[in-house]
Amino acid sequence: MTAPRSWLLIAVVAVILAALAAAPFLFPGVRAMDTAARICVFIVLAASYDLMLGYAGIVSFAHVMFFGMGAYGVALASVHLGREAPGLILGAGAGMAVAVVLAALIGLFSLRVRAIFFAMITLAVASAVAVLVSQLSGLTGGEDGLSFQIPRALSPSAAYLPDPLPGLDPAALPGVVFGDAPMESLFSEVRANGKLAAYYLVFASMLVLLALMRRLTVSPFGTVLQAIRENEFRAEAIGYRVVRYRIAVTCISAGIAALAGALYAVWLRYVGPDTVLGFPIMVDLLLMVVIGGMGTVWGAVIGVTLFMLARGYLQDLMAAAQGAVAADLPALAVLLEPDRWLMWLGLLFILSVYFFPAGIAGRLKSGR
Amino acid sequence: MLQGVDLDVPAGEVTMLLGRNGAGKTTTLRTIMGLWKLRQGRIGFAGQELGGMGPSAIARAGIGYVPEEMGIFGDLTVAENMRLGARTRRMRQDRIDWLTAAFPALGTFWHRPAGTLSGGQKQMLSLARVMVEPRQLYLIDEPTKGLAPAVVSVLVGALRQLKSEGATILMVEQNFAVAKALGQNAAVMDDGRTVWSGRMAELAGDAGLQDRLMGLHLEGHR
């Protein structure tokens, strides 16, 4: 009686995680490393959101608010306690504690009744907190946000090795294979500085939190959550206190979202309402979870990676495609105008939801 | 709406709850389980009053419930469904061996999503989940309804084994042959009240009584 596994899903996730692990050495440049770090942070955020949405069937619009609490916790700690690590850890812990307490309060008041009330209350609370953060400019920097310093060991000025490390530049491969670019252009240099250390801090934290969430979902606790999602009355009749489980998962999810926010703040060295609290982030998060596949932690890995890459590189891809077809197919070239990237992004999402209603991970899991 | 039910379930015996459709049998089980709120009267169980308790508290008090509509979790595997039935979250291996011997299909499809099982297999799973650890009282609602005879005999076999353990069972059953084979006691309900209760042997041996209680002559009994 051994459990079957979806090797295709495992392979896709393994490739993504391996690419993220080697990102600074495989994809040179500040922009690529920034995209990889954002992917790591949003994998944690999306997976924690999926704990609620996909595993427990709880719709929340306050998840980004919890994310923002962790981010502001780090920022405020840096501003008031200094840039050193203990202060930032304290700030992240405080942000997480506030998120957990607020999640428990919202849950206690609204999870006893129908799920729609919880969704409405989270929407109201998230809007109120966003307004509050904008208004309390003395504390939070208001709309301008807060720029702050992080430990020197994580700042770009910290150098760990005198010589750069060797890296690869896959973008140069076509030029080497098909053109007459020199072989040396395949290699790049990676500076072993604090930025690289910050990236690996974000990456390692993502791995640890992802493993933790994976463990949680395959534990008896995760099984009960899925049972509640399917039929709460049935779960109650077997002996499970549905409200307690719902509140527990809401608190765990909020706590992990706050930690993701803390990592994001460390990476950006800036927090602002639009960056860590904005409602558009919540919409993006929903899309990432839906595209990746709900009810599987790996869905978050796939959904976030696709979303972030499409968002970051679709415009570049369209410019290249437009250049390629401009002479022969001028009508298509007009459609591929890089400024129309949002339209294509929307179209891609509609198609992915249409063809993969259970998400990409769901489709890979079923092996069809 | 249920009214005036007066039912006693002797410990260590199987009591069959009989009666025509709409008599209140399922409602009685659901009310005992706390799924429907008790407005009047009392439900006593092992010295406790169940009336004000919620379903989860009642389940934790030692009552196992098998609903009429194959209450399994289709998204979860057979193994996960079974694990949910174990209050300690750990299933005893001897119990698993016993259940997979009683219901071989469950062992075969152990890691399959329960939603992919046939109707009979789902009913087996629903019953096995509640049997995964001993309960003080089993409430079983029409386990054989709409199932093929071969599946019914598997279920009856498993219930016989449960009965031989000395389990206390209150079971709703429309199939009188099954009720007769398993029950030691019987209670007949009509219009929300118990109109007859006694030993199953007495009911099984009296065709006139059966006709009066479960035929079309219940009005004359009121």
pLDDT, tens digit (0-9, with 9 covering 90-100), for A314-353: 888 888 888 888 778 888 888 888 888 888 888 888 888 8
pLDDT score, position B221: 40
Nearest CB to A3; choose among B55, B59, B111: B111
Do β-strands B193-199 and B44-45 pair in parallel, antiparallel, or remain unpaired? unpaired
> Contact A231/B55 with Cβ under 8 angstroms?
no
Residues 6+ apart with CB under 8 A from A75: A91, A146, A148, A265, A270, A271
- Give the model confidence (pLDDT) of B174-197 as tens digits: 888 899 899 999 999 888 888 888
- Give the model confidence (pLDDT) of B32-45 as tens digits: 999 888 888 889 88
The total of structural domains in chain B comes to 1
pLDDT score, position A170: 77
pLDDT band with cut points at 50, 70 and 90 for residue B217: very low
- The Cα–Cα gap between B179 and B86 comes to 27
CA-based nearest residue to B151, from B105, B120, B177, B190: B120
Neighbours of B113 (CB within 10 A): 15
Closest-CA residue of chain A to B31: A237
Least confident of A247-251, A305-309, B50-54: B50-54
Q: State the average pLDDT over residues A233-248.
A: 92
- The Cα–Cα gap between A178 and A187 comes to 17
Find which of B36, B84, B112 to mutate to test the A interface (most A CBs within 10 Å of its CB): B84
Q: State the average pLDDT over residues A40-66.
A: 95
Has residue B222 got a pLDDT over 60?
A: no
* Measured CA distances, B170 to A34, A204, A274, B13 (Å): 64, 55, 60, 9
Secondary structure letter of residue B143 according to DSSP: T
Residue A226 to residue B80, Cβ atoms within 8 A: yes
pLDDT band with cut points at 50, 70 and 90 for residue A226: very high
Residue B35 to residue A230, Cβ atoms within 8 A: no
Q: What is the CATH number of the domain that holds B190?
A: 3.40.50.300
CA-based nearest residue to B120, from B159, B82, B147, B142: B147
pLDDT band with cut points at 50, 70 and 90 for residue B113: very high
Residues 6+ apart with CB under 8 A from B133: B85, B86, B87, B88, B91, B92, B95
CA-based nearest residue to A251, from A96, A34, A73: A96
Has residue A91 got a pLDDT over 90?
A: yes
Has residue A4 got a pLDDT over 70?
A: no
pLDDT score, position B2: 67
Residue B52 lies in a domain: yes
Q: Phi/psi at A163 (nearest 5 deg)?
A: -105, 145
> Contact A168/A27 with Cβ under 8 angstroms?
no
Note whether B106 contacts A: Cβ–Cβ < 8 A. no
Identify the H or E element spanning B15: strand B14-18
Has residue B166 got a pLDDT over 50?
A: yes
- Cβ-Cβ contacts under 8 Å, B87 against chain A: 239
Residue A237 to residue B67, Cβ atoms within 8 A: yes
pLDDT score, position A3: 54
pLDDT score, position B1: 63
Joined together, the tokens standing for residue A100 give: 């957990």
Residue B56 to residue A3, Cβ atoms within 8 A: no
Residue B190: give the domain boundaries: 14-73+135-221
Which of A79-83, A98-102, B22-26, B72-76 tops mean pLDDT?
A98-102
pLDDT score, position A341: 84
CA-based nearest residue to B176, from B144, B151, B199, B131: B144
pLDDT band with cut points at 50, 70 and 90 for residue A363: confident
> Contact A43/A301 with Cβ under 8 angstroms?
yes
pLDDT score, position B216: 42
- Give the model confidence (pLDDT) of A201-222 as tens digits: 999 999 999 999 999 999 999 9
Residue B83 lies in a domain: no
CA distance A295 to chain B (A): 10
H-type alpha helices, A52-114? 63-81, 85-110
Neighbours of A146 (CB within 10 A): 20
- The Cα–Cα gap between A359 and A352 comes to 8
H-type alpha helices, A220-296? 220-230, 232-238, 242-268, 273-276, 279-292
> Contact B106/B100 with Cβ under 8 angstroms?
yes
> Contact B117/B78 with Cβ under 8 angstroms?
yes
Mean pLDDT of chain A: 90
Has residue A171 got a pLDDT over 60?
A: yes
pLDDT band with cut points at 50, 70 and 90 for residue A368: low
Interface residues of A toward B, Cβ cutoff 8 Å, are 1-4, 220, 223-224, 226-227, 229-231, 233-242, 295
CA distance A3 to chain B (A): 5
pLDDT score, position A1: 57
> Contact B166/B120 with Cβ under 8 angstroms?
no
* Single-letter code of the amino acid located at A363: R
Strands (DSSP E) contained in B28-164 are: 44-45, 48-49, 63-66, 137-141
Residue A343 CA neighbour count, 13 Å, CB half: 8
CA-based nearest residue to B131, from B164, B96, B107: B96
Residue B29 lies in a domain: yes
pLDDT band with cut points at 50, 70 and 90 for residue B218: very low
With 0-12 / 13-18 / 19 or more C-beta atoms within 10 angstroms meaning exposed / middle / buried, residue A323 is exposed
For chain A, the structural domain boundaries read: 20-158+193-278
Secondary structure letter of residue A159 according to DSSP: B
> Contact A164/A190 with Cβ under 8 angstroms?
yes
> Contact A296/A365 with Cβ under 8 angstroms?
yes
- Each as own residue / partner, the long-range contacts of residues A314-318 (CB below 8 Å, 24 or more positions apart, any chain) are A314/A341, A314/A344, A314/A345, A315/A341, A318/A344
- The Cα–Cα gap between A102 and A254 comes to 9
Has residue A189 got a pLDDT over 90?
A: no
- Each as own residue / partner, the long-range contacts of residues B198-201 (CB below 8 Å, 24 or more positions apart, any chain) are B200/B16
pLDDT band with cut points at 50, 70 and 90 for residue B220: very low
pLDDT band with cut points at 50, 70 and 90 for residue B219: very low
ipTM over 0.90: no
pLDDT score, position B206: 82
- The Cα–Cα gap between A291 and A361 comes to 8
pLDDT score, position A356: 87
Residue B61 lies in a domain: yes
- Give the model confidence (pLDDT) of B76-88 as tens digits: 999 999 999 987 7
pLDDT band with cut points at 50, 70 and 90 for residue B209: confident
pLDDT score, position A127: 94
Closest-CA residue of chain B to A224: B84
> Contact A158/A193 with Cβ under 8 angstroms?
yes
The larger pLDDT score, comparing residue A24 to residue A186, is at A24
Nearest CB to A236; choose among B55, B77, B111: B55
> Contact B22/B218 with Cβ under 8 angstroms?
no
